[in-house]
Structures are given as structure tokens and as C-alpha cells.
Amino acid sequence: MKLVIVDDYDALSRAGADWLIEAIQEQPEAAIVAATGNTPTGMYIELAQYRSRGLVDTSRLRVFQLDAYLGLPPDDHRALFSWTRRSFIEPLGIAEENVVRLAGDAPDPWEACRYYEATVHEVGGFDLSILGLGPNGHLGFNEPPSPPDASTRVVDLTPESIVSNGRYWGGEEQVPRQALTCGMDLLLKARRTLLLVSGTHKHQIVHRAVEGPQTPDVPASFLQSAINVTVLVDWAAWRGQ
Ligand code: GLP
């Protein structure tokens, strides 16, 4: 695990974009799983600016949705697919046929999880994984406790995740209580991972994830044993002030 500490959120977004550009230039058709959340937003904006200046071709990436609320159609404003579309797929010029949804609105969501897993296996697993860190140590919606072999599945959200995700949608009552998440097993096998962490509120959890014991209670701690993981943290998160 490589730890890179940068000054602030802007520096994090720039450093993340540089990391991604290098990876995309090496492998323009990379299979990438891309997190939503506030943390990677600045990095995606940077990346889109590089693309619009013709400095990187992002249009051939094959994108996999990381997580989805159960029961929301993809065009619901809270659906994480619509967030991925706004922040990643459209600004980076990726065609819809190169996007694999985790279908939270499928009649049989467990079947949707199996289909997603089969599709990831078909492309040989993820080349790139872009992750944020939940306040409770979750990756995607792999809520604690999640062992390293946890599959892609339907999960109950923890009260902590419901509260923290309420800020995106104007209150916790807006947040569905269940979700689908790409499993730990697929995430931990990605060939390259970038974990982004910003802000004082992530101080304790980032230290537990990076330096603490590897435990299902902090799912992100299993990244310590994964290959080619870069953790990009700003000083606010690292120092807690
Ligand atoms: C959400 C999402 C995660 C995201 C995390 C951190 O619950 N399910 O995919 O990475 O929380 O979000 P943020 O970057 O806004 O702190």
C-alpha cells in the first residue's frame, strides 16, 4: 500500500487525476469501477478538463457501477447510476454500451448481482478501481462487517451510512435502507486501486483503514493486503485538523 499525503482537496483532485491519466494512457480500454461520493468529484472534473483539451482519451474505458440503492430506477435523482452518469460517464465521453450497471431496480436484485459478477469475470476483473472511504470504513456499500470474500450482494445500510448519505439528498429519510454493492472479493482483486480520503471527519477511520488490524469491522483495512493500492489523503484527514 502506497500512502501519498497532499496539502488539501484541490491537490488531492489533481494528484488523483494524474494517477488516473497515467493508468488510462497505459490502458485506454481499462475496465474501471468508479465510486460516487463527494471525494472523487474534483478529480473527475480535472480529468474531464484534460480530456476536453485533448490530453487523454477516456472514451474507451469500460465502466462498472460500484453501488446502487435498492429499488431506485436509474433516472431517479438519488440513484447512484445517475450520479455516475453526471460525474463520470458523460464528462468523459463514454458510450452507454461500455457501461455496466448494478441494477438496483431489477425485479430480482440478487440475479442482478450475479449478472454483474459474471460480467466482471468476463472482462477478466477490474483493471482500475477508484474508491472513497465511508465514515464507517465501508468500500462501496460493503458495510461493516464485510469479510474479504464478500460477494456482490444486497445489503442493509448501517444507521451511520444512512445518516452520512442523507447529506446528498436533503435528509436521511430520503435514503433507501438497502443497497446493492460490488463485492469485496472483486474490489480486492483489482489490478490497481486508488483510495481517496479527504477531510477531518475521515481522520480516525483512515488511520484504522491504513494502519489498524485487518478486520471485517473496517472493510477498507483489507486493502492493506491487495496489490498496487495507492491511498491519496489530504492533511486534514491525516492530521484530523
Ligand atoms: C458512500 C458511497 C461510497 C462512497 C462513500 C464516501 O456511501 N456508497 O461509494 O465512496 O460513501 O463518500 P464521500 O466521498 O462523499 O465521503
Task: Using the mean position of ligand 1's atoms as its centre, give its distance from the Cα of residue 133 in Å.
Answer: 6
Locate the ligand 1 atom nearest the alpha carbon of residue 164 and give its number: 7
Of all atoms in ligand 1, which is nearest to the CA of residue 37?
15
**Dist. CA 37 → ligand 1 center (Å):** 4
Name the residue with the closest Cα to ligand 1, atom 5. 134
pLDDT for the residue numbered 82 = 95
Give, for ligand 1, the residue of 9, 12, 36 to mutate: max count of ligand atoms closer than 8 Å to Cβ.
36
Q: What is the pLDDT of residue 149?
A: 98
**Among positive and negative, which fits the CA dihedral 150, 151, 155, 161?**
positive
What pLDDT, on a 0 to 100 scale, did the predictor assign at position 4? 98
| pLDDT < 50 regions, the chain | none
Residue reference for cell 485533448:
54
Determine whether 26 is exposed, middle or buried from the number of CB atoms within 10 Å of its CB (0-12, 13-18, 19+).
Answer: exposed
| Residue found under cell 430480482 | 108
Q: Is there a contact between 78 and 72 (Cβ–Cβ < 8 Å)?
A: yes
Q: Are 206 and 237 in contact (CB under 8 A)?
A: yes
Ligand 1 atom closest to the Cα of residue 196 is: 14
Length of the chain: 241
For the chain, the C-alpha Rg in angstroms (whole number) is 16
Catalytic residues: 67, 136, 138, 143
Q: Which of 102, 138, 184, 232 for mutating ligand 1's site (highest number of atoms within 8 Å of CB)?
A: 138
Ligand 1 shell residues, CB under 6 Å? 35-39, 66-67, 132, 134, 140-141, 161, 165
Give the tens place of pLDDT for each residue, 147-161: 999 999 999 999 999
Dig out the grid coordinates for 165 from the structure.
448519505
Q: Which atom of ligand 1 is nearest to the CA of 199?
A: 16
The predicted pLDDT at position 65 comes to 98
User: What is the pLDDT, as a whole number, of residue 167?
Assistant: 93
Which pLDDT value is given to residue 196? 99
Rounded distance between C-alpha atoms, residue 100 and residue 186, angstroms = 14
Grid coordinates standing for 1?
A: 500500500
What CA dihedral angle connects 103, 129, 221 and 228, to 10 degrees?
160
* Span 69-88, pLDDT tens digits: 999 998 899 999 999 999 99
To the question of pTM greater than 0.95 for the whole model, the response is yes
Report the separation in Å between the CA atom of 138 and the middle of ligand 1, taken as the mean of its atom positions.
8
The C-alpha atoms of residue 125 and residue 114 are separated, in whole angstroms, by: 14
pLDDT at 225: 98
CA of 15 to the centre of ligand 1 (A): 19
